[in-house]
């Protein structure tokens, strides 16, 4: 920290520089933008110095990597000890097709798996359900039973590699598929590692693939916390997701604030169940977006770590691991353009670099063709190579938090934390996250931000290269992935055979036991696992929970 006299001198010098050097030049050559603002509409000064962060206390506000409040990183060695996990999000068509894609990625250097599920699976429906018609395998892999999960991970060492699964409403059931597959292969539950997204609150806020009402959904989430803590200790039982909030049109500040508010809500719900915060908090993880404003994204990740550490300490956490905000990052799908798709490689590289400089623990880099179709092999390989170049050639992994101490970065980190705290206060006035969801607060905030951004793009105030500036008349063609057209037929045939060959009496007994447990207060995970081991399908198991809990109908909020 600078003393007051030194700060006054610095402020005087900066004002003198503006008056004598900066402003006269802008009169001759006007600035390009009437107002330089980042994607959260924060005004950015032309120059930053220590006078912008006069109250910054290095020891209290920053600390060292691996030390509270973890602003500079969650590990002392950061990437010098272990590079981030290269975890490409993948899934399409049948389990067999996706299994081949996983093997392709692993052969080319991927170090962790990430499963994308199709929309019927996300909503807890089997492929043979009428509502699944036309949606099979289009935005992810179709998984209707343990049999599909066995095929998805055939010949893949699930005891040695970690797997992330982007699943929410039916997360306990799909997680049970994964656990049961390991059981059947003789792999101890204590050995398997990975993450289920399992973040139902952000479904009501942004992605909208919810199934049950908030109360039962929170119960199921806490069931996974409790079961994982006792039986699957290497598993992250939730990935609290800001990614989808950002993709829905939020600002970076909204993504930060709403995600952490959700996180604290899960912690409080688990503690209300009677769980000790230090028993489960070390297995909570996060998932953030990496968008276009380079420094804003870096500041977002740094602020997130500090807010979470301080908040968890206030909630009673004692173990250092309970205060760590560990996070996965995915580059911004919403920033990809169908126009001139090759330039998406540049966007993704910059976004990935921001994630690494911000201290991510794992990373997915989007493919250049994702605005057009599911990624081709060539496109996904180039996306993976982007990460490998950052790791092997850029030098940014050599030191922890290399931008720490930048006046601009520290100012922006503080500013984002302040803005998040204002949002926390507003959410508290509603009575918490769930009442704020029910009143439409988050949805309105995101919608307004999205509308404002789109207006700026259409007016030309915001430039999207290739879209509203630097357009090309000709269409740039790139190879598009084609799925196996017979895949759905094979999936339906497998599902029909499964239902005919299994012990259906055993299935019905397991489903009835789950029904009774879900009507009471027992943890549902052991009962779900019994259903899964009996080869009850996703739709059948989820159907029991639908009957008991009901389905959530979103109220009209506009």
- 410 within some domain: yes
- Domain containing residue 192: 73-439
pLDDT tens across 506-541, in order? 999 999 999 999 999 999 999 999 999 999 999 999
pLDDT tens across 62-73, in order? 889 999 999 999
- 63 within some domain: no
**pLDDT at residue 478, as a whole number:** 84
77 shares a domain with 45: no
Residue 478 backbone zone (phi > 0: left; psi -120 to 50: alpha; other: beta): beta
315 shares a domain with 399: yes
pLDDT tens across 384-428, in order? 999 999 999 999 999 999 999 999 999 999 999 999 999 999 999
Domain holding 126: CATH number?
3.20.20.240
Beta-ladder partners of 364: 330
pLDDT tens across 136-145, in order? 999 999 999 9
Q: Is the pLDDT of residue 283 over 70?
A: yes
Q: How many residues does the chain have?
A: 558
280 shares a domain with 138: yes
Contacts of 150 (CB under 8 A, 6+ apart): 181, 184
Peptide bond into 69 cis (omega under 30): yes
48 shares a domain with 79: no
Boundary-marking domain end, from 439, 472, 506: 439
- Asked if 323 and 304 touch (Cβ cutoff 8 Å), the reply is no
Q: How confident is the model at residue 477 (pLDDT cuts 50, 70, 90)?
A: confident
Q: How confident is the model at residue 2 (pLDDT cuts 50, 70, 90)?
A: low
- 468 within some domain: no
Pairing of strands 235-236, 238-241: unpaired
Measure Cα distances from 103 to 99, 108, 180, 392, 424 in Å: 6, 9, 21, 22, 43
pLDDT tens across 493-509, in order? 999 999 999 999 999 99
**pLDDT at residue 558, as a whole number:** 59
- 81 within some domain: yes
46 shares a domain with 11: yes
Q: Which two tokens stand for residue 510?
A: 């397991």
- 167 within some domain: yes
**pLDDT at residue 473, as a whole number:** 85
**pLDDT at residue 42, as a whole number:** 94
Q: Which two tokens stand for residue 92?
A: 């399409």
145 shares a domain with 268: yes
Q: Is the pLDDT of residue 474 over 90?
A: no
231 shares a domain with 137: yes
411 shares a domain with 321: yes
pLDDT tens across 187-244, in order? 999 999 999 999 999 999 999 999 999 999 999 999 999 999 999 999 999 999 999 9
Q: How far is CA 406 from the centre of its chain?
A: 27
Beta-ladder partners of 328: 287, 362
Mean pLDDT of the chain: 95
Residue 290 gets which letter from DSSP?
E
**pLDDT at residue 7, as a whole number:** 85
Q: Is the pLDDT of residue 483 over 90?
A: no
d(C-alpha 117, C-alpha 523), whole Å:
25
What percent helix, strand, coil does the chain show, rounded to 5? 55, 10, 40
Q: Is the pLDDT of residue 99 over 90?
A: yes
Taking residues 39-60, report their average pLDDT.
87
Domain total of the chain: 3
Between 294-314 and 252-273, two packed helices, what is the crossing angle to 10 degrees? 20
Residue 249 backbone zone (phi > 0: left; psi -120 to 50: alpha; other: beta): left
**pLDDT at residue 35, as a whole number:** 74
d(C-alpha 286, C-alpha 292), whole Å:
20
Q: How confident is the model at residue 553 (pLDDT cuts 50, 70, 90)?
A: very high
19 shares a domain with 115: no
**pLDDT at residue 60, as a whole number:** 78
217 shares a domain with 151: yes
366 shares a domain with 298: yes
- 460 within some domain: no
Taking residues 163-184, report their average pLDDT.
98
**pLDDT at residue 28, as a whole number:** 87
- 363 within some domain: yes
The string of DSSP letters for 315-380 reads TT--SGGGG---EEEEE-GGG--SSSGGGHHHHHHHHHHHHHHTT-SEEE---TTTTTSSPPHHHH
Taking residues 288-305, report their average pLDDT.
98
Measure Cα distances from 168 to 179, 202, 240 in Å: 16, 9, 10
140 shares a domain with 10: no
Range of weakest confidence among 47-51, 126-130, 284-288, 401-405 = 47-51
Taking residues 467-490, report their average pLDDT.
86
Share of the chain above pLDDT 90, in %: 89
- 453 within some domain: no
**pLDDT at residue 1, as a whole number:** 60
């Amino acid at each position: 920290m600078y003393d007051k006299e030194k700060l006054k001198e610095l402020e005087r010098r900066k004002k003198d520089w503006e008056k004598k050097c900066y402003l006269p030049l802008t009169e001759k050559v006007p600035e390009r933008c009437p107002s330089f603002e980042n994607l959260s509409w924060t005004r950015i000064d032309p120059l930053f110095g220590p006078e912008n962060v006069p109250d910054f206390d290095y020891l209290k506000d920053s600390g060292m990597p691996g030390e509270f409040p973890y602003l500079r990183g969650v590990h002392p060695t950061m990437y010098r000890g272990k590079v981030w996990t290269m975890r490409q999000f993948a899934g399409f068509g049948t389990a067999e097709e996706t299994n081949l894609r996983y093997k392709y990625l692993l052969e080319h250097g991927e170090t962790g798996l990430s499963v994308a599920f199709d929309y019927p699976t996300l909503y807890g429906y089997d492929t043979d359900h009428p509502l699944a018609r036309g949606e099979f395998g289009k935005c992810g892999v179709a998984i209707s039973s343990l049999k599909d999960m066995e095929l998805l991970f055939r010949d893949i060492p699930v005891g040695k590699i970690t797997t992330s699964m982007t699943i929410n409403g039916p997360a306990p059931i799909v997680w049970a598929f994964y656990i049961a597959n390991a059981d059947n292969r003789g792999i101890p539950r204590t050995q398997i590692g990975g993450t289920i997204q399992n973040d139902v609150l952000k479904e009501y806020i942004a992605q909208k693939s919810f199934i049950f009402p908030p109360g039962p959904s929170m119960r199921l989430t806490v069931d996974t916390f409790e079961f994982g803590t006792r039986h699957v200790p290497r598993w992250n039982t939730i990935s609290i997701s800001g990614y989808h909030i950002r993709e829905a049109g939020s600002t970076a500040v909204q993504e930060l604030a709403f995600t952490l508010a959700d996180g604290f809500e899960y912690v409080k719900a688990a503690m209300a169940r009677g769980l000790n915060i230090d028993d489960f908090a070390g297995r909570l993880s996060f998932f953030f977006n990496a968008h276009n404003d380079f420094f804003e994204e870096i500041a977002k990740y740094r602020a997130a770590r500090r807010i979470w550490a301080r908040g968890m300490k206030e909630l009673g956490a004692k173990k250092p691991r309970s205060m760590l905000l560990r996070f996965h990052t995915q580059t911004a799908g919403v920033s990809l353009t169908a126009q001139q798709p090759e330039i998406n490689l540049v966007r993704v590289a910059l976004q990935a670099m921001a994630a690494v400089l911000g201290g991510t623990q794992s990373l997915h880099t989007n493919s250049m063709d994702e605005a057009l179709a599911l990624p081709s092999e060539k496109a996904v390989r180039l996306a993976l190579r982007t990460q490998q170049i950052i790791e092997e050639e850029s030098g940014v992994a050599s030191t922890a938090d290399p931008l720490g101490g930048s006046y601009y970065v520290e100012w922006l980190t503080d500013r984002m934390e302040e803005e998040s705290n204002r949002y926390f206060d507003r959410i508290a006035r509603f009575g918490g996250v769930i009442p704020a969801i029910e009143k439409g607060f988050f949805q309105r905030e995101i919608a307004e931000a999205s509308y404002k951004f789109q207006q700026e793009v259409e007016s030309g105030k915001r430039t999207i290269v290739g879209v509203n500036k630097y357009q090309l008349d000709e269409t740039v063609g790139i190879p598009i992935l084609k799925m196996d057209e017979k895949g759905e037929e094979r999936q339906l045939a497998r599902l029909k055979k499964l239902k005919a060959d299994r012990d259906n009496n055993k299935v019905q007994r397991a489903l009835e036991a789950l029904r009774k447990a879900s009507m009471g207060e027992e943890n549902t995970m052991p009962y779900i696992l019994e259903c899964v081991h009996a080869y009850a399908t996703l739709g059948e198991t989820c159907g029991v929970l639908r009957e008991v809990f009901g389905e959530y109908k979103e109220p009209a909020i506009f």
